[in-house]
């Protein structure tokens, strides 16, 4: 039976744990309709998680008794950082959700020369990340970084084993090999500028493509994340 998973600052050295976040309490009580005696999975953002039984439930708090400590071994072995250009409407939200489900470890909002949308709803994005991580069985919550401009992102990416600059004019992506920390650069709706292509080449990014067809930015971000993690 699939158990519902919840992230929180749980201390697994203790026998009892609780959730007092109003949104989570409402989800447990009113949406999922879990009750005393039901079992859930609790995760504290490490690879450790716990099977726990609900022992108390009020409108302000849900209490648990920890039964068993487990090791979550589902996290990908590759630390992928997605440098994603800010997108219009809810497209950025969609990519954050799917990238979390796929296994991306960090998301860096990217300000490019053709960025037309500025500003993020941090709390909404963190809620999307948490819910997607719970749904997909992640062991850790991906980190949502502060937005970076393109030059700062190129500098930040120097720490990675490999960096892939996805562009329709690049070479076909052939897999990351043994690289354990990988950066993925995805441009905005209007695409990369020649200036950005030139500077990314100076940073020794590998220019790769997902094929001959022009993909929407959100499609490219989701597909590239999956390919880098799983090939």
- Spell out the domain ranges in the chain: 5-71, 79-230
The per-residue pLDDT for 149 is 93
Instruction: Quote the CATH superfamily of domain 79-230.
Output: SPOUT methyltransferase, trefoil knot domain (3.40.1280.10)
**Chunked mean pLDDT (size 10), the chain, 231 residues:** 85 89 89 92 87 92 92 89 89 94 95 82 90 90 93 92 89 84 91 87 81 88 93 84
The per-residue pLDDT for 53 is 95
Q: 53: which 2 tokens?
A: 């039984």
Mode of pairing for the β-strands spanning 62-71 and 48-57:
antiparallel
Closest CA to 40 of 20, 78, 66, 73: 66
For the domain made up of 5-71, the CATH class stated in words is mainly beta
Q: 229: which 2 tokens?
A: 């993690």
Could you give the C-alpha distances from 101 to 38, 51, 105, 198, 201, in angstroms and in order? 25, 21, 10, 32, 30
Task: Classify residue 33 by its DSSP letter.
Answer: -
Closest CA to 111 of 45, 171, 193: 193
The span from the first CA to the last CA of the chain, in angstroms, equals: 30
Task: Classify residue 114 by its DSSP letter.
Answer: T
The per-residue pLDDT for 1 is 63
Strands lying side by side in the sheet with 48-57: 5-7, 39-43, 48-57, 62-71, 16-19
What is the C-alpha to C-alpha distance for residues 11 and 7, in angstroms, rounded to an integer?
12
Task: Classify residue 4 by its DSSP letter.
Answer: P
Q: Is the dihedral of CA 79, 163, 92, 223 positive or negative?
A: negative
| pTM to 2 decimal places | 0.85
């Amino acid at each position: 039976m699939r158990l519902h998973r919840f992230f929180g600052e749980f201390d697994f050295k203790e026998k009892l744990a609780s959730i007092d976040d109003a949104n989570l309490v409402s989800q447990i009580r009113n949406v999922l309709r879990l009750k005393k005696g039901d079992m859930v999975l609790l995760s504290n953002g490490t690879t450790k998680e716990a099977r726990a039984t609900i022992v108390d439930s009020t409108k302000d708090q849900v209490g648990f008794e920890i039964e068993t400590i487990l090791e979550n071994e589902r996290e990908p072995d590759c630390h992928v950082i997605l440098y994603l250009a800010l997108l219009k409407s809810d497209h950025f939200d969609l990519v954050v959700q799917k990238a979390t489900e796929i296994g991306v470890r960090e998301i860096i909002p990217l300000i490019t020369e053709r960025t037309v949308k500025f500003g993020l709803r941090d709390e909404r994005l963190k809620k999307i990340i948490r819910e997607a991580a719970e749904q997909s069985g992640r062991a850790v919550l991906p980190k949502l970084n502060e937005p970076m401009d393109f030059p700062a992102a190129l500098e930040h990416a120097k720490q990675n084993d490999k960096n892939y600059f996805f562009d329709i004019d690049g070479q076909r992506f052939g897999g990351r090999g043994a690289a354990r920390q990988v950066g993925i650069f995805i441009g905005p709706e209007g695409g990369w500028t020649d200036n950005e292509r030139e500077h990314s080449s100076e940073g020794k990014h590998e220019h790769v493509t997902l094929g001959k067809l022009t993909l929407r930015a959100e499609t490219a971000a989701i597909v590239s994340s999956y390919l880098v993690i799983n090939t």
